[in-house]
Amino acid sequence: MFTQQIINGLTMGSIYALIALGYTMVYGILRIVNFAHGDIFMMGTFFGLLLTQKFRFPFPLALILAAIFTALLGMLVERVAYRALRLSDRLVLLISALGVSIFLSNFAQLVWGTETHPFPSGLSVKSFQVGTVTLSNIQVYILILSCLLMIALHVFVHKTKMGVAMRATSHSINNARLMGINTDSIISMTFAVGSILAAVAGILVGIYYDAVYPTMGYTAGLKAFTAAVLGGIGNIPGAMLGGVVLGVVESLGAAYISSGYRDAFAFGIMIIVLIFRPSGLLGKKQQEKV
Amino acid sequence: MKKILEVDNVSISFGGLLAVNQVSLHQNKGEILALIGPNGAGKTTLFNLLTGVYQPTSGKIIFAGEEINHYKPHERVKKGIARTFQNIRLFPTMTVLENVLIAHPDCNSETVIPAVFGRKKLAQRRRTVVEECEEILSIVGLQDKLEELATNLPYGKQRLLEIARALATKPSLLLLDEPGAGMNSVEKEELTNLIYYISREMEKDVLLIEHDMKFVMNISERIIVLDHGEKIAEGNAQEIQSNPKVIEAYLGRGNFDDEE
Amino acid sequence: MIQLKLSKNILKLIGAVVLLLLPLLVTNSYFIHIFISIGLYIILSLSLNLVTGFTGQLALGHAAFYGIGAYTSALLLLRFNVSYWLALVLSAVITGIFGFLLGLPALRLKGDYLGIVTLGFGEIVRLVFVNWYSLTRGPLGLPGIPAPKIGPYIFDSRIPFYYLIFGLAAFTVFFMHRLVNSGVGMAMITVKEDEIAAESIGIYPIKYKLLAFSLGAAFAGIAGSFYASYISFISPDTFLYMDSVTILAMVVLGGLGSIPGSIIGATVLVIVPELLRFMTNYRMLLYGALMVFMMIYRPQGFWGANKRVRNSYKIGIRGVSNEKDIRG
């Protein structure tokens, strides 16, 4: 039972981690919470559903195409709703982000209806028994794929020119600009990368629960944000750690304490972390200058 | 002479760096005291210690005979210490008058029920507040700008408004952090007169940080020099100007009247 | 100048008379319902504006207070049979206490982080409504909440409810207007603009943040209490995240830190969706787009704080104001 919950927790946790990366990367550069990220995640899932169901693309191709479309959507959102407001008051940006979030979730309702759609992956679900633990092949795919993506992201950020420019921009947007980095395209790229990870996470979770619906971005987004905060927002390894910790805690809480309050554990953790250690598990402290 | 303020062996360090190191100084009642020193000497940090923005790592701060280390910033204001900021911190969307009104203790101590439901008595009280604040504004020469938004004032006038705001808290000790920065020579002349007026006529004690040596030597009765967080000299204008340690501290790093 | 002020007062008077006689002029009960909704949302948006617009504390869980007020009132009426008027007052007080509690994290957090914590709080409150079955009947909700009574007179149609909400909204406007133009309100604004500067003039920011959260919550509780008896049924679905966002949108689109702004924001955002009813499917879509559009082209809102009367602290004092003083 306990090991089983850990496995389930790890599965969801790696999904949260993938979404959390999008929050944390954008925050790292722009110091804003991209409230629309949860809805971008939802849109990515619908793209995946559309490509596999309507257009009958083979799954790996559908996954890649959906990720590309979602990346474009993420870049579009940044261009339309955030770029002009970069220097505005935080609250103004936040409202704009909320506006995008409302727009996207209602757009999805309009196009695909409010009901929950099944997500047949074409994969036959196989479960196998390891001792007392039941593991499905989908869980294994989720764990493997998210590990691969996180490694890829790590390599991208540390070994490629674009990744280094991205890190430079997150240190100081002005210095990066002075160094000749095109910060606008770096920011755009950050949204693209975050959106790709969200789309993959969305498709994986869609298959895992066999369910896709327009409001799925809200709770998932909130929890992924919790994961980002838990790890230390702006910190990439932190987001991964935060996602996994959150997934496991939530899974154990739901199993041993109360399943009705499943989501409340996540939010409770978030509130406690923000109050007592706002810099998260791996983040650094900052002090205001007088 | 009576001591209004005593700083006793005060130190503070940020992440291992000693920003203020074992500084002791005092201010006499009625005196204009200046704090000078090269960039990074710890002058503003000392102001932040006096006003409670920072807590000293060790040492005591005694004001009007009472140790005030444990008081929070807003409580020290009630005790009679007011300040201005080096990087002006007015309330930008409030008017000139409102910036001063809200600093008045009878205005910012209003409570909800009387503020909402009060009538005659409240009006009476507010009338006094407004009159006093308008008078303070006319002392600094801003009586014609009451309805202007603080953010729309020119730089020099913003500095004056900060002084008016500090005065409205009814302090006995006024801390001015580079009051003349960014002012031209005419404005500085007026500022000198204003500081004299605050000291002589309003009988406030003035402690100021300033970079303009001519201004400092001219106005202050006594000068304390900080360098690298330590007090290196103390005395009147002539003594300071001829002190070899002071000369070295400044020459070692460049210009005498270095702007921050 | 004095003439201007007089004509303004006359305008206000005419407005008040029209609003008071409205139920006689408009007999269609659908329209009365719209007016009641406007009154309800004026209270909600003003209460949030105090927290977010005047004190600068971003709150994304305001619907939770609305919900706490509604449940408190409903439970007092259903379980303890108290008079509606007592339930109204108690729900304001109890919701105010919850506001104080939520205000505590605000002492350590700023901006987006505070927004997220209040959002999480809102979710937790909703989950409690859903899961605490023995108290709230969970998703089934609480039906049959009794209507208010004055002596033998029972509020049996929309008209008395209209007058009740008119009175409550008018009280809220009066209260907020007096408050934000007082020393208390100005102190709140200083906390929004620069906490360190506020401390330097003797203002304790913590006190004003807690005060704003408590008062804001208490007024949202009043709105909730009204809603419970007006609709006579409440369930967790009424107090969702989307409702918090709607209230915030009213405040922001109307104008942060502006009382007329909140009134306009609430009115517009109640009426526009009704007008767009023929295109129900698109209205939330447009709503989202409008929020983005407004932030880019008119971030100060319909009636921003920049239009406020300057130095109104001084204008309120009779006897002091001479002709020179009455400006703006």
**Model pTM score:** 0.88
In angstroms, what separates the C-alpha of C207 from chain B's closest C-alpha? 11
The size of the A-B interface in CB pairs under 8 A is: 4
Binding-face residues of C in 23-62 toward B, CB within 8 A: none
List residues of chain A with CB under 8 Å from any CB of chain C: 32-33, 80-81, 84-85, 88-96, 98-104, 106-107, 109-110, 218, 222, 225-226, 229, 258, 260-261, 263-264, 267-268, 270-271, 274-275, 278, 288, 290
Please answer yes or no on whether A270 and C58 come within 8 Å at the CB atom. no
Phi, psi of C149 (to 5 degrees): -130, 145
Sort out which chain C residues have CB atoms less than 8 A from A96's CB and list them: 291-292, 295-296
Which pLDDT band, with edges at 50, 70 and 90, does A206 fall under?
A: very high
Range of the domain at C11: 2-327
pLDDT for C50 equals 97
A98 or C43: which leads in pLDDT: C43
Residue in chain B closest to C174 (alpha carbons) equals: B116
pLDDT for C326 equals 40
Residue in chain C closest to A262 (alpha carbons) equals: C127
- β-strands B205-209, B32-36 pairing: parallel
Which pLDDT band, with edges at 50, 70 and 90, does A66 fall under?
A: very high
Sort out which chain A residues have CB atoms less than 8 A from B53's CB and list them: 290
Question: Which residue among C182, C200, C306 places its CB closest to the CB of B77?
Answer: C200
CA C69 centroid distance within chain: 12
Which CATH number goes with the domain that contains C245?
1.10.3470
To which H or E segment does residue B22 belong?
strand B17-28
pLDDT for A195 equals 96
The residue among A25, A45, A12 whose CA lies nearest residue A246 is: A12
Average model confidence (pLDDT) across chain B? 90
For the cut 70, the answer to whether the pLDDT of residue A65 exceeds it is yes
Average model confidence (pLDDT) across chain C? 88
Which pLDDT band, with edges at 50, 70 and 90, does C105 fall under?
A: confident
Phi, psi of B176 (to 5 degrees): -115, 120
Residue in chain B closest to C186 (alpha carbons) equals: B102
> What percent of chain B clears pLDDT 70, i.e. is strictly above it?
96
To which H or E segment does residue B206 belong?
strand B205-209
Please answer yes or no on whether B115 and C310 come within 8 Å at the CB atom. no
Q: How many angstroms separate the CA atoms of B51 and A190, rounded?
A: 43
In angstroms, what separates the C-alpha of B237 from chain A's closest C-alpha? 30
Would you say C194 and B91 are in contact if contact means Cβ atoms under 8 Å apart?
yes
Q: How many domains does chain C have?
A: 1
pLDDT tens profile B55-89 = 999 999 999 999 999 999 999 999 999 999 999 99
Q: How many angstroms separate the CA atoms of A183 and A164, rounded?
A: 12
Sort out which chain A residues have CB atoms less than 8 A from B12's CB and list them: none
Substitution target in C60, C256, C296, C302 with the highest count of A β-carbons within 10 Å is C296
Q: How many angstroms separate the CA atoms of C55 and C172, rounded?
A: 17
How many CA within 13 A on the CB side of residue A206?
32
pLDDT for C325 equals 43
Q: Where are the domains of chain A?
A: 2-276
pLDDT for C55 equals 94
pLDDT for B259 equals 42
In angstroms, what separates the C-alpha of B48 from chain A's closest C-alpha? 8
In angstroms, what separates the C-alpha of C105 from chain A's closest C-alpha? 6
pLDDT tens profile C45-92 = 999 999 999 999 988 899 999 999 999 999 999 999 999 999 999 999
Substitution target in B90, B91, B113 with the highest count of C β-carbons within 10 Å is B91
Which pLDDT band, with edges at 50, 70 and 90, does A238 fall under?
A: confident
What's the average model confidence in pLDDT over C126-136?
92
> What percent of chain C clears pLDDT 90, i.e. is strictly above it?
58
Substitution target in B90, B109, B116 with the highest count of C β-carbons within 10 Å is B116
Q: Any idea which fold A2-276 has? A: ABC transporter involved in vitamin B12 uptake, BtuC (1.10.3470)
pLDDT tens profile A210-236 = 899 998 998 898 889 889 888 888 788
Which pLDDT band, with edges at 50, 70 and 90, does B258 fall under?
A: very low
**Of the candidate ranges A135-149, A262-276, B140-154, C172-186, the one whose mean pLDDT is the lowest:** A262-276
